[in-house]
Structure 1
Amino acid sequence: MYLTTMTHRDELFDLTLRWLNDRFEPQDGKIVTRIFLYESAVSAVLVERVTGLLTRLFSGPLQIERIWQKQELRQRLIHYLPRNSERTGFLIRRFTDNPEYFFPRLPIDALLVTGPGLRLLAIGRIKRLSRVAEKVSFRLVDALFKEIQAEARVIAGRRAASSGVSLIDLVSSEREMYTDFTAAETEVARRFRNHNVWIPRRAMTVNDLIGFKIIGDQELIDRVPLLLQQQPGVALIETERHSGDYNATNLLVEITLPEPAALAAQLNKFDWSIARQRGLDPEETQRGFADYLARGADTVRMEIILTTYDELMESEFGRSTHELRVLRLRQRQAYNGPIAHNGAYLIEYLLALASSPTTDIVELPIKMYGRYLPETIDSAKCTLFGYDIDAGMLDAFCLKTINLDQRPDRF
């Protein structure tokens, strides 16, 4: 995966590519754990930079509240509603009549930024690792599907040549096309087993690991791009405007970080005791932070979304509900074969390893050229956190150890 919000995104991408090609190294567990722990510290600087921007934009003191569930966020949106209308009244009534219809208890990691007078100014969020895994795997599957399709065309081309026609004139039955595609899957799987599959960075790029949604009237949000360009160390890389069911402007910004020594000093109060929960020594981890920063990129990227409160209500309660857009994206996946599942499983396992207390593993439980059921990856993730997938629920099935030497001759 290539997460542009990270200073060591190249190192993480190289490790991911090695894992896809089944080239695991003994230190990989510690490497990926350190990367995500160190980057969690760096992310604090990004949040501080954006809140500084918000202070200048809204000209007033800000309050920040952390939210852990989507249902709680939706309740806050109703609480901070600046004005009511027939449409917002309808959306609120529909929510309060049946909150279970709105994906309750969905875990999130969000910051609510408010100003004087119960005014909601912005929502910040860090993608949970499960969503990062899903987003990366979507991009990876698209790339793999194109690889398999290209190989299938090569196989069909050989069939055409043996029939004495060009590929464009080849008429294939549905069964022949299925056979070509299956053979192409097998060939791509063989390349993974031979450690020689290359996937470009753009195919696994995620720019919005960290993002902020700025909320205001149209006049205010129209000022944000210009304000961003006036900030030292901030560059506006891309602007994407959405219209239709979902209406908002997405900005991709690049932020220049302080020099490594200054950045380390800025983060000297970071609580490194969390390293112990990740299987690392806190003192050793703290000592290595400055060197980590010195070896990383000096810029990172993040997403800023500009929207009005009315459109925010639509994205949480109405025509463009975020969770429904996620579900539709899942349903539109063009390829759902074993290689796709394996890629998703492997990314999911890598991120679980980064957040678990385990740093040492002996091998990868998923190979791109193998076949697995979801229970396999579930069990592998449970092992990282030190518990069994069934949590011992069937221990009572056998109340005592059976001595096979004393078994009866017959039942």
Structure 2
Amino acid sequence: MRQFGIMITIGSFLHREVLNDIILRWMYDQARPSDADLIVRLSHFNRVYVSRYLEQFAGLIFRELHQCQLFPRPVQLKGELKDVIVEHPSCSNARIEEMILDYGQNPGRYYRETPFHGILYFCRRNGCMEYVGSSRIKRVRRLAEKTARRIIDRIFASVRRHADTLADERARLLSIPREQLFTAPEEMTEEFLQAEKRLLNDLRERRPIAGAAEELAINDVAGVKVILEESEQRKLMELFERLPNCEIVEEEKHTGRYNATNLIVRYRPPREEILAHPLGRRILSVMQARGLSPYETNQAFAEFVRSGEEDVLLEIILSTYQEMLESEIGRCIHEDRIIEQRLCQQYRGPLARNIEYLLEYLFTFPVSFQKEFGELPIKLWNRYLPDYFDEILKKLFRIPPDNFLD
């Protein structure tokens, strides 16, 4: 379905067009009963597949870079990562010592309880365990939030273009150039609200939204952080030139408060090697609760992988030890940047909140106790208080409402 005019591509997943179709249909309140089973498979099978190929990919990268035995350590919280990087510094100077001292004096200020579904990688050097990098899978809430933000930004641009069209029309009626048009703040607000109302009507009437024909790519669901000092960083680029199943498709250097190189890499996972290992107990239990036997789940997963795209996209962050410290406990803490993004979002009206609610519901449904749904609980053109969405999430997990004792 391309009514909305955009393609939402989550590059680390398989069956990307199927997921895109569900998201767009749900935005137009066109869910199907079969979506309940489909979104569960898309979510759970992709999570398993990403976890497997990411561990395989990260292991390959770190072994090739360091030519040593790897010691992986799964972690669940950011505090586990932050403790490791301050306990085993690979170099030292006054700034590094300052950051480590500040962290040790008040570790609770550094978002230690942030969920972090990742693996830390170590090499043994000179009798010590040296941290060389990590891999992580973006959490469900962060994926929903980022997807929603991309859609909201595109919708905001569409609304703003229509508001500009209204201003152009006023300038034409006054026979003056647009740049000479004075618009009082209340008129600007009214024009924006008119444009927003028109867009909501387009959604409700299932009409395409003008000016939104552009792909929205989210390529960092699977990510690897590589720690190399500047003199060694060329080794990573040389490695990708040698590896047959990898290629860098995008490179972005960040300088300023945050200094690192972000790479988007196209990778072709060894599908049959991944499928050679049966699924684990937890995913089998989850799918059995939804009506699939262990045998059926393994068969369905194999079909899911073999019928999906051959390659995936993932993110690599290349950083020095000191800059990695800055991003975890220094001047540009990752969690601070997330909060800043949330606060600085240009468009924060009811439609923006509804898109966030809808996407979080979509990505949360597969891990809930609910097996089917009829009517979607969120329509983008309606208005809701946050309390309403709280109740929706409670129902998904069978949490009693506040008045359950009445």
Q: How high is the TM-score relative to the length of structure 2? A: 0.91
The structure-2 alpha-carbon separation of the partners of 1:100 and 1:46, relative to structure 1 and needing over 3 Å to count, comes to closer
User: Displacement of 1:194 after TM fit?
Assistant: 1.3
User: Displacement of 1:242 after TM fit?
Assistant: 1.0
Name the residue aligned to 2:139. Answer: 128
User: Displacement of 1:65 after TM fit?
Assistant: 0.7
Segment drifting more, 342-351 vs 189-198: 189-198
C-alpha distance in structure 2 between counterparts of 1:194 and 1:166, whole Å: 35
Name the residue aligned to 1:408. Answer: none
Query: Which one of the candidate residues 148, 158, 162 is aligned to 2:159?
Result: 148
Preserved CA contact (<8 Å) 1:68 1:107? yes
Q: Does 1:176 align with 2:187?
A: yes
Q: Does 1:81 align with 2:89?
A: yes
C-alpha distance in structure 1 between counterparts of 2:104 and 2:368, whole Å: 37
Letter in 2 for 1:39: N
Query: Which one of the candidate residues 303, 322, 334 is aligned to 1:310?
Result: 322
C-alpha distance in structure 1 between counterparts of 2:393 and 2:287, whole Å: 19
Preserved CA contact (<8 Å) 2:357 2:378? yes
Preserved CA contact (<8 Å) 1:241 1:250? yes
User: Displacement of 1:318 after TM fit?
Assistant: 0.8
Letter in 1 for 2:276: Q
Preserved CA contact (<8 Å) 1:41 1:267? no
Larger Rg: 1
Q: CA RMSD in A?
A: 2.0
Query: Which one of the candidate residues 241, 250, 267 is aligned to 1:238?
Result: 250
Name the residue aligned to 1:288. Answer: 300
Q: Does 1:28 align with 2:39?
A: no
The structure-2 alpha-carbon separation of the partners of 1:6 and 1:377, relative to structure 1 and needing over 3 Å to count, comes to same
Letter in 2 for 1:81: P
Query: Which one of the candidate residues 61, 71, 89 is aligned to 1:63?
Result: 71
The structure-2 alpha-carbon separation of the partners of 1:32 and 1:278, relative to structure 1 and needing over 3 Å to count, comes to farther
Letter in 2 for 1:148: V
Q: Give percent identity, aligned residues only.
A: 29
Name the residue aligned to 2:374. Answer: 362
Letter in 2 for 1:237: V
What is the number of equivalent residue pairs in this alignment?
Answer: 391
Letter in 2 for 1:60: C
Question: Counterparts of 1:7-406 in structure 2 under 5 Å?
Answer: 7-43=14-50, 44-116=52-124, 117-165=128-176, 167-197=178-208, 199-200=212-213, 202-203=215-216, 205-258=217-270, 262=272, 265-271=275-281, 272-276=283-287, 279-283=290-294, 284-390=296-402, 395=405, 398=406
C-alpha distance in structure 2 between counterparts of 1:81 and 1:207, whole Å: 30
C-alpha distance in structure 1 between counterparts of 2:214 and 2:55, whole Å: 26
The structure-2 alpha-carbon separation of the partners of 1:291 and 1:201, relative to structure 1 and needing over 3 Å to count, comes to farther
List gaps (5 residues or longer) in structure 1. 399-411
Q: How high is the TM-score relative to the length of structure 1? A: 0.90
Letter in 2 for 1:341: R
Preserved CA contact (<8 Å) 2:144 2:363? yes
Name the residue aligned to 1:404. Answer: none
Structure 2 residue matching 1:110: 3-state secondary structure = strand
C-alpha distance in structure 1 between counterparts of 2:372 and 2:239, whole Å: 46
The structure-2 alpha-carbon separation of the partners of 1:219 and 1:209, relative to structure 1 and needing over 3 Å to count, comes to same
List gaps (5 residues or longer) in structure 2. 1-7
Letter in 1 for 2:11: T
C-alpha distance in structure 2 between counterparts of 1:20 and 1:197, whole Å: 11
